[in-house]
Structure 1
Amino acid sequence: MDAEQGPLARLRSATAAAHADLDTALDVLDRPWDTAVHRRWLELTWGLLAPLERALAAQAATDPAALDGAGRARAELVVADLRALAVPEDEVAALAECPDVPAVPDRAAALGVRYVLDGSTLGGRLIARAVVAAGVPAAATTSLTGREGAGRRWRETTAALEATGPADVPGMTAAALGTFAAYRAWLAPLERARA
């Protein structure tokens, strides 16, 4: 099979428009950013990551070949970032979760969600630099980049995607598109607040 027709290339092609739409809507690197915007970003991001990471963990509990979830988890890093901004504990505890995230019934769906989440840690490095340059404390940006080894984990994710068969591509694609759609809808308050 030609590399351009492999599962990863097919997934990337099928989700490119949704990815570009999200990036354009948020316009993260070209917008004003301050501590208030960053706090709202963190609150909304937690609302996506928490239910998605729970769903991934539940699927992984029945799948011995699942990718490591603990090293990839970022919801708890968001909480740490909010604490670094001195957000009161009662407000952290009251954060809302996105009610419309894709289901993760099997490995194909898990890989589709991982494709979006793990990929976002790579873009998060650029965002973190811009956010810190705008005056946000670096200690409040750990959730953007994830834990040390994000690059290695991304390579593991892409290798796992490439190791799937053609029958898995529709499930991976549906889950990835669902994740992009959840991000687009849930982060819409930031889009509306754009200057």
Structure 2
Amino acid sequence: MTTDGVDGARPARGRRADGALAHVRAATAQAHEELDGGLDVLHRPWDVELHRRWLELTLGLLDPLEASLERWARTDPAALDVAARSRAGMAREDLRALGADGAAVDAVPLCPDAPTAAGRAQALGLCYVLDGSTLGGALIHRTAVAAGVPERACTSLVGRPGAGRRWRETAAAVDALGAPGDAAVEEMTATALAAFAAYRRWLAPLARTTA
């Protein structure tokens, strides 16, 4: 997973440099850097087998994270559109495009300790990480396709059209949550950190040090 270039180092237009978005970005910067540095997906040889393993492991995280967001959305009338953000089903189709049958796809292990969204603050923490990874996935998409991976097996990397707009919606919702130091903002930030930690643990088999 990478979100390099997703949000940039400077606050987006209309965003406060000392707001909740800036706070969660700063608080997760080291975790983000350690995750991307360990995977180094943009500077390593890519092939169909590595891509298959990437899809299996990311599916194992996306499925429980997105299921938790779906449960939240059913209880929050102001919830973000989690269906439009969902990529687990796309990852399953990507695996099928590589030749996996239904039984193999159904047997993909799911992360047992992925963070959950019991409320809006936690849900936004998950969306912050997941929406960022969707935008960053465009970089991995180019790497995979250039290496000969069929493009039809790369759909989950970029998600559905409108990823940039959805990221802006998430950023606005994060900033509207409150100010740094508020309980909701700290809860959102803690959940984002937990999501980065889950990604790092679960994707460890793909880390360059174990390749």
Give the structure 2 partner of residue 19 of structure 1: 32
CA distance in 1, matches of 2:208, 2:132: 24
Deviations 1:136-164 (A, max 9, x none): 00110000000011111111111111111
| TM-score under structure 2 length normalisation | 0.89
CA distance in 2, matches of 1:140, 1:58: 28
Give the structure 2 partner of residue 70 of structure 1: 83
Give the structure 2 partner of residue 111 of structure 1: 124
1:194 CA displacement: 5.5
Give the structure 2 partner of residue 134 of structure 1: 147
Give the structure 2 partner of residue 180 of structure 1: 196
The number of residues matched between the two structures is 194
| 8 A contact 2:38–2:208 mirrored in 1 | no
Secondary structure of the equivalent of 2:172?
helix
Structure with the bigger percentage of helix: 1
Identity within the alignment, % = 61
1:42 CA displacement: 0.2
In structure 2, list runs of 5 or more residues that go unmatched.
1-14
| 8 A contact 2:40–2:208 mirrored in 1 | no
In structure 1, list runs of 5 or more residues that go unmatched.
none
CA distance in 2, matches of 1:103, 1:151: 24
Does 1:43 pair with 2:56? yes
1:173 CA displacement: 0.6
Does 1:83 pair with 2:99? no
Amino acid at match of 2:194: G
Q: Residues 37 and 193 (structure 1 numbering): CA distance in 2 closer, same or farther, change over 3 Å?
A: farther
1:99 to 98, 105, 112: 112
1:193 CA displacement: 7.0
CA distance in 2, matches of 1:183, 1:75: 15
Secondary structure of the equivalent of 1:40?
helix
Structure 1 residue runs of 4 or more that deviate by more than 4 Å after TM superposition? 192-195
CA distance in 2, matches of 1:102, 1:40: 22
Deviations 1:28-65 (A, max 9, x none): 00011100000000000000000000111111111001
| 8 A contact 1:47–1:95 mirrored in 2 | yes
| TM-score under structure 1 length normalisation | 0.96
1:103 CA displacement: 2.1
CA distance in 2, matches of 1:32, 1:15: 28
Amino acid at match of 1:37: L
| 8 A contact 1:118–1:153 mirrored in 2 | yes
| 8 A contact 1:31–1:194 mirrored in 2 | no
